[in-house]
Amino acid sequence: MAYLELNNIYKTYGQGDDATQVLSNINLSIEEGEFVAIVGFTGSGKTTLVNLINGLLEPTSGEVLFKGEPVKGTSHERGVIFQNYSLLPWLTVGQNIYMAVKEVFPKKRKQDLKEVVDDYVEMVGLTPAINKRPKELSGGMRQRVAVARALAMQPEMIIMDEPLGALDALTRGNLQDEILKIWEKDRRTALLITNDVDEGIYMADRIIPLRPGPNATLGPEFKIDIERPRDKTELNDNPNFKKTRNAIIEYLMDIGDARKAEAKAPIKLPDLAPKSFVDQFEFKL
């Protein structure tokens, strides 16, 4: 049995005539220790999918199984890295992480918890900024704090919702490497949601495109057969990389085109012609 399983998930927002179906017929299974990436256009329902898995939302129908048990609400076993960092602005870097750690290990002594916090802050290279508030940090640093917070909770599975979406290309690359390095250490199950195909290929074992919503559904999966650790510069020359990348992009483009074509479907225009008034009036001279 798979580690995480999604069976026939449907998710609808609103009720009655206002209902919009966001996700339909989502089936997904992730094995333990696997790194899976879901790639999709913005607005295709990626965040909804993530929130169903981490327990912030409940599916309208279908079931989410985590280790064979249906997901009911959030759990410390599934750590989440949010798209917009979601750090509490009134707490410092250290306090943000401490708060999370304290909830997960309520029985540990304060001193031990502080050590855990220090370790994870060091791991993401933010020790000099441990007493700063999120406002004083750059976007990349904030996302590192969010990564440290999620990992410090020592979850069994880590769910990342477009974690690097708001960062510039250089910071993005660096953080991808860091996340991978940390992941390589104990190879916990990871789910990455992204809109960047290259990022998906670089990081994941398997890529699944999400067809754009409404009625978003998962497309066919693409296996990434590239040896780890992967090298970004060499990756560009790797024939396997090129092939997979082209296949995924082609697939996504096709969906995009299909969607455009749908939108452009000719609207039947009423058959109207200007009426001639000429004969209706008699001109008397």
Partner 1 sequence: MRQSITLGKVTKFVGLGFLTTFKDLFTGKLEKEDLKGFLRKIVVPIASVFLFIGLWHMGAKYLYNTEAEFKIQKALTDQGPEAAEAMRECIASGDLSCKPNTLPSPAQVWESYKSLLKDHQIISADKANFIEKTATLNEKRIAAGKDPIVYTGRPSFVDQILRSLKTVFAGFLLALLIAVPLGIFIGLSPTLKSAFNWFIQIFKPVSPVVWYLLVFMIVKTILIDSSDDSSFTISFISVGLCSMWATLVNTAMGVSTVDKDYINVAKVLKLGAFQKVFKVVLPSSLPLIFTGLKITLSVAWMVLIAIELLAQSPGLGSFVWEEFQNGANDSNAKIIVAMFVIGIIGFLLDRLMLTIQNMVSFNKTEAI
Residue 229 binds partner 1, judged by CB under 8 A: no
Q: Is residue 147 within 8 Å of residue 86, measured between CB atoms?
A: no
Near partner 1 by CB under 8 A, which window of 75-83, 172-180, 236-244, 246-254? 75-83
d(CA 66, CA 268): 49
CB of 269 vs partner 1, minimal distance in Å: 44
Residue 220 binds partner 1, judged by CB under 8 A: no
Closer of 19 and 56 to partner 1 (Cβ): 56
Token pair belonging to 33: 């220790």
Closer of 99 and 253 to partner 1 (Cβ): 99
User: In the chain, what are the helix, strand and coil shares in percent, each to the nearest 5?
Assistant: 40, 20, 40
Site residues for partner 1, 124-183, by CB under 8 A, read: 133, 135, 153
- Count helices and strands (H / E) in the chain: 8, 10
Residue 72 binds partner 1, judged by CB under 8 A: no
Choosing from 23, 37, 80, 157, the residue that interacts with partner 1 (CB under 8 A) is: 80
Residue 73 binds partner 1, judged by CB under 8 A: yes
Cα torsion angle, 173, 178, 183, 184, sign: positive
d(CA 11, CA 189): 24
Chain position carrying tokens 């069994």? 156
Query: Number of residues in contact with partner 1, rule: CB under 8 A?
Result: 22
Closer of 104 and 182 to partner 1 (Cβ): 104
Closer of 103 and 254 to partner 1 (Cβ): 103
Choosing from 90, 119, 168, 246, the residue that interacts with partner 1 (CB under 8 A) is: 90
Is residue 3 classed exposed, middle or buried when 0-12, 13-18 and 19+ CB atoms within 10 A define those classes?
A: middle
CB of 150 vs partner 1, minimal distance in Å: 9
Give the CA distances from residue 87 to residues 42, 91, 127, 150, in Å, rounded to whole numbers and listed in that order.
23, 8, 17, 11
Choosing from 21, 75, 154, 238, the residue that interacts with partner 1 (CB under 8 A) is: 75
Residue 86 binds partner 1, judged by CB under 8 A: yes
Question: Going residue by residue from 7 to 46, which x/- string records binding to partner 1, judged by CB under 8 A?
Answer: ----------------------------------------
Interstrand relation of 157-161 and 189-194 (parallel, antiparallel or unpaired): parallel
